[in-house]
C-alpha cells in the first residue's frame, strides 16, 4: 500500500521551476521534468527488475508521466503516474493512485464485470450449442423439403397439362372426358396450395423454435448492454475531477457539453488527470508536467521509446481544460501558428492558375480562428477568382509549392488530375537519423493504409482493416536526406510512412507529432508537375528547400 511518503519524491535540485504551469498539449520538457522523468523511469524499471510479468508489460509499451509539485511544506518534488492499468492493477508502489479505485475484487465494478462476463459466456454457449445448430438445420430442412415438394408437384402439373392438351388436340372428347380433365386440373391446383400451406406450417414451426432461442439470446444481449452502459455511467459519475479552485465535476458532467456527449472508454485514467488529481487532493501546487512513452510502439499508432508525448486530444482535452482551471498555464502552441516568415510568394500566375510557395507555419485553408492562410491570402489577391480555389493542401508545418485554381473550370480540371494520380509531386525531407538497413541511393515503396486517430487528433494511424490506401515511393540520399514521391494524398501520409515501424521506422526531423520537436518540420514540397487546365501544356515548378541539403 502506497503512503504519501512513497508517492511524493523530493527533487534535490537548485533548478528554478518555470514561471507558469507547462501546457500538457504542447510543451518542451522543463529541466525539472527531465530530472523527475529519469527518476520515474528508474522507479518503474526497479519494480520490473524482479517481476517478469511487469517487465513484459513495460517492454510492450506504457505511458508514464511526472508532475513537479511544491508540497504544503514548500518542498519541491515530483509525482509519477502510469496510464490505465498495469498487470491488471491500478496501483504501483511509488506511483499515484487512480482518481477512483474501482478494481477491488469485492467491489461493485468487479461484481458487475463478473455478471457481464457470465452473460457473455451464456450467450456464446447458447449461440454455439448443439440445440442451436439442430434448430437451424431443422429450419433449413423444412424449407428445402417444401421447395422440393412444390417443385415435384409443379412438374406433375405440367405433365398432366401436357397430356390434357394432347388429348384436346386429337379431338373426339366426350363431355365426361372434359369434366374429368377440368376436375384433374382443379384438384392439382388445390393440391399445390395444400402442399405450400403444409410447408409454410412446417417452416413456421421450425422458425418459431429457432426464434425462441434467438429471442433469449437477444434478451441477454440487451441485458448485457444495459448493465455495461450502467456500469460505465457509474464509473464516470464516480470520477470526481478536481481543479485548482477546489471544484469538482464528474466525467459525465465534463463531457456533457462536448461534441462527444459521453466520455470515451478509459477517460480519467491517463497520467495527466491522475497526477493533477493527487496534487489537488493533497494541497500540492503543480509546477510543470511531462509524459513519456516507455517500451515498444503499439501496432497502429506511432510511439518511440523514451520520447516525450503531449496529452491526447480525445479523452484528455475536455478533462484537462477543467482540471487546469485556476492555474496559470502556458498557451497551447497547437492552436497558434509557428513564428516563421508568413509571406506567401507567388511563383507563377495567369488567368487560370497560380503557383505559390507556402512557408512552414502557414495554414493552407482557414482554421478555427482568423489566422492568414493560403486561401485567405489568395482570395484577397485575386478577388475576381471563382470556385473553391484550393485543389490540394500542405500541412501547416510543411513548406513548399502549391497549385491554386483561379476559376471553377480550372479547379475541376486540376481536381480530376489529382484524382487520376496524374499530378507528380516531389518532397524533400531530413530524417532524424538514417533508417536501419537503408543506404544512400536505396529506393523503396511504402504501402500502409491510414485512418484518423480520433483520440489523438490531428494524428493519423496505420489501420490495415479500415484505413484508406496510402502509397509513397522514396529514394534515400545521404546525410539523412530523403526524396519522397507520394502516389496518394492522405493526411500526414509522408510523416507517418517515415515514422511508422512498418515504414522507414524513422520520423522526419522536427516532427512534433510522430517524433521529436525541433526548430521546424524538415519536410518541403519541392516540385510539382501537372497539365495546364486550359492549354494542356506540361507545367513544372520547383523551389529549393529552406533547409540546406547538406546539414
| Residues taking part in catalysis | 395
What DSSP line would sit under 175-214, residue for residue? HHHHHHHHHHHHHHHHHHHHHHHHHHHHHHHHHHHHHHHH
Q: How far apart are CA 93 and CA 2, in angstroms?
A: 6
Strand 523-531 relative to strand 424-430, pairing: antiparallel
C-alpha cell at 360: 512552414
Q: With H, G, I as helix, E, B as strand and everything else as coil, classify residue 468.
A: strand
Q: With H, G, I as helix, E, B as strand and everything else as coil, classify residue 483.
A: strand
Q: How far apart are CA 390 and CA 409, in angstroms?
A: 13
- Cβ(396)–Cβ(361) under 8 Å? yes
Q: With H, G, I as helix, E, B as strand and everything else as coil, classify residue 113.
A: helix
Phi, psi of 483 (to 5 degrees): -100, 135
Q: How far apart are CA 358 and CA 525, in angstroms?
A: 9
- Cβ(472)–Cβ(479) under 8 Å? no
Residue 79 CB burial class (10 angstroms; 0-12, 13-18, ≥19) = buried
Please state at what angle helix 108-127 crosses helix 130-170, rounded to 10 degrees: 30
Amino acid at each position: 500500500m502506497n503512503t504519501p511518503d512513497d508517492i511524493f519524491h523530493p527533487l534535490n535540485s537548485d533548478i528554478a521551476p518555470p514561471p507558469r504551469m507547462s501546457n500538457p498539449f504542447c510543451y518542451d520538457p522543463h529541466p525539472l521534468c527531465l530530472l523527475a522523468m529519469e527518476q520515474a523511469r528508474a522507479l518503474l524499471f526497479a519494480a520490473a527488475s524482479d517481476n517478469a510479468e511487469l517487465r513484459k508489460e513495460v517492454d510492450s509499451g506504457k505511458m508514464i508521466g511526472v508532475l513537479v509539485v511544491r508540497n504544503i511544506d514548500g518542498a519541491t518534488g515530483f509525482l509519477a503516474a502510469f496510464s490505465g492499468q498495469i498487470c491488471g492493477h491500478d496501483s504501483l508502489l511509488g506511483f499515484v493512485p487512480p482518481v477512483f479505485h474501482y478494481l477491488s475484487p469485492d467491489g461493485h465494478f468487479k461484481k458487475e464485470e463478473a455478471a457481464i462476463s457470465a452473460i457473455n459466456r451464456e450467450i456464446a454457449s447458447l449461440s454455439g450449442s448443439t440445440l442451436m445448430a439442430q434448430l437451424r438445420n431443422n429450419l433449413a430442412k423444412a424449407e428445402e423439403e417444401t421447395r422440393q415438394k412444390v417443385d415435384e408437384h409443379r412438374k406433375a402439373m405440367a405433365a398432366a397439362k401436357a397430356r390434357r392438351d394432347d388429348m384436346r388436340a386429337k379431338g373426339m372428347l366426350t363431355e365426361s372426358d372434359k369434366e374429368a380433365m377440368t376436375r384433374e386440373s382443379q384438384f392439382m391446383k388445390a393440391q399445390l396450395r395444400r402442399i405450400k400451406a403444409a410447408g409454410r406450417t412446417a417452416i413456421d414451426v421450425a422458425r418459431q423454435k429457432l426464434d425462441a432461442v434467438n429471442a433469449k439470446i437477444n434478451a441477454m444481449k440487451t441485458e448485457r448492454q444495459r448493465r455495461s452502459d450502467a456500469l460505465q455511467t457509474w464509473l464516470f459519475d464516480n470520477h470526481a475531477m478536481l481543479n485548482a479552485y477546489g471544484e469538482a465535476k464528474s466525467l459525465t458532467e465534463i463531457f456533457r457539453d462536448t461534441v462527444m456527449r459521453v466520455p470515451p472508454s478509459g477517460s480519467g485514467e491517463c497520467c495527466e488527470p491522475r497526477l493533477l488529481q493527487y496534487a489537488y487532493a493533497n494541497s500540492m501546487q503543480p509546477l510543470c508536467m511531462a509524459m513519456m512513452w516507455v517500451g515498444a510502439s503499439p501496432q497502429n499508432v506511432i510511439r518511440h521509446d523514451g520520447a516525450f508525448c503531449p496529452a491526447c486530444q480525445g479523452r484528455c482535452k475536455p478533462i484537462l481544460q477543467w482540471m487546469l482551471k485556476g492555474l496559470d498555464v502556458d498557451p497551447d502552441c497547437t492552436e497558434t501558428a509557428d513564428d516563421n516568415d508568413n509571406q506567401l510568394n507567388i511563383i507563377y500566375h495567369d488567368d487560370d492558375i497560380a503557383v505559390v510557395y507556402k512557408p512552414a507555419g502557414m495554414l493552407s485553408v482557414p482554421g478555427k480562428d482568423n489566422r492568414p492562410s493560403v486561401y485567405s491570402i489568395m482570395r484577397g489577391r485575386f478577388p475576381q477568382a471563382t470556385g473553391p480555389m484550393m485543389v490540394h493542401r500542405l500541412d501547416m508545418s510543411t513548406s513548399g509549392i502549391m497549385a491554386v485554381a483561379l476559376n471553377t473550370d480550372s479547379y475541376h480540371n486540376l481536381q480530376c488530375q489529382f484524382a487520376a494520380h496524374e499530378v507528380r509531386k516531389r518532397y524533400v525531407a531530413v530524417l532524424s537519423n538514417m533508417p536501419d538497413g537503408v543506404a544512400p541511393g536505396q529506393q523503396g515503396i511504402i504501402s500502409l493504409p491510414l485512418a484518423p486517430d480520433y483520440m489523438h487528433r490531428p494524428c493519423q494511424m496505420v489501420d490495415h482493416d479500415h484505413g484508406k490506401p496510402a502509397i509513397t515511393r522514396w529514394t534515400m540520399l545521404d546525410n539523412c536526406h530523403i526524396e519522397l514521391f507520394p502516389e496518394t494524398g492522405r493526411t500526414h501520409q509522408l510523416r507517418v510512412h517515415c515514422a511508422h515501424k512498418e515504414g522507414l521506422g524513422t520520423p522526419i526531423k522536427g516532427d512534433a507529432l510522430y517524433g521529436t520537436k525541433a526548430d521546424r518540420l524538415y519536410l518541403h514540397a519541392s516540385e510539382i508537375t501537372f497539365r495546364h487546365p486550359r492549354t494542356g501544356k506540361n507545367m513544372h515548378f520547383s523551389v529549393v528547400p529552406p533547409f540546406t541539403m547538406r546539414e
